[in-house]
Structure 1
Amino acid sequence: MDPAALTGNLILLSFERESDLMYTEASDIGQLTESKEMVFKAGVDFETIMGEALSQAESLELMSRAREAYL
């Protein structure tokens, strides 16, 4: 997975009759990408991140433990 997938804002746009697009945003610029290869790779990266993310309950538990450790 590309570490860049974890930086900035990313919106994947899927259309029924048109090619998918990707919109990325940094602090000073937004960019719309039409490259099928880049959009596909971003989709794969996104699915990988989602697959490895903690559940909502696990995330809350982790944050609660971290807060207690630092207080």
Structure 2
Amino acid sequence: MNVHVHQSQIDQLVWRKSSYSSEEGGECVEVATRPATVHVRDSKDTTRAALAIEPMAWAAFVEFAAR
């Protein structure tokens, strides 16, 4: 499913940084959740487009990555 979200809606989201991210840079990811979508972006370059996916797809990814 393609989810189109207007930039003004992205700017209003509450972003949380991954607990695996450090203050030293590197691979940093931020996530913001809405009822129908999970938004993921690069915390080092927040001007780039965020990825918007369905919550069930995000849950499957997190479960897979935790293995």
TM-score by length of 2: 0.33
Q: Quick check: which has more Rg, 1 or 2?
A: 1
Point out which structure has higher relative CO (alpha carbons under 8 A, 6+ apart): 2
The structure in which a higher percent of residues are helix is: 1
